[in-house]
Amino acid sequence: MLDREATPTDLDELREFVASRTGVEFYLEPETTATDTTVAAVAADGEWIRRRVGSARIASRLATELGVPLYDAGVLGYPAAMRRYRRS
């Protein structure tokens, strides 16, 4: 059973992240038994957020709307900058 489904607020937070950061890329993460399909949005400096999106189709539409690339995290992995990033 999923903890909760994606909401419009989740998508708005991804939009806000893209609008306020440079070089953002989306990394699609599949649905699991605990979590709905998610996207990790990663900025050029490695700052990132993860939000539920509901489906790969919605993630693709959002990436197209925002003009950011969408990668499959299970195939490509995550950028090194994301692993190095430290929140203040």
CA 38 to the chain's CA centroid: 6
> And the tokens for 49?
């957020």
> And the tokens for 43?
């900025």
- What would the pLDDT profile of 11-58 be if each residue is shown by its tens digit? 999 999 999 999 999 999 998 888 889 999 999 999 999 999 999 999
pTM: 0.91
Query: Of all helices (H) and strands (E), which one includes residue 84?
Result: helix 80-84
